[in-house]
Amino acid sequence: MYARVVRFTDVTPERIAEVEARIEENDGPPEGVPSTGLRLLYDEDQATAVFVGFFATEEDMRTGGEVLANMDSGDTPGTRASVDHCEVRVERDMG
């Protein structure tokens, strides 16, 4: 499994609410993004968010990343600060 991890700055609670609503309204990822899942983390005190998109293969991650990188900035939670393309090496849910 692979993950595209994007950190955003200048994120407001209102913007997070808009992004959450848009995600809940859709049945899946944006067109052209072969993602298998996602996580959106928000730190209101620091006005930052981390978006983690999961992909079955490295190729899927690269393909989806190209689409996501070209998204209109109005569709993102805030200002893109960093993007990491990772192989998920350990995944464990406790409890």
Mean pLDDT of the chain: 93
d(CA 51, CA 11): 12
What's the average model confidence in pLDDT over 60-72? 92
Residue 72 scores a pLDDT above 90: no
Identity of the amino acid at 63: T
User: pTM of this prediction?
Assistant: 0.89
HSE, side-chain direction, 13 A CA sphere, residue 26: 12
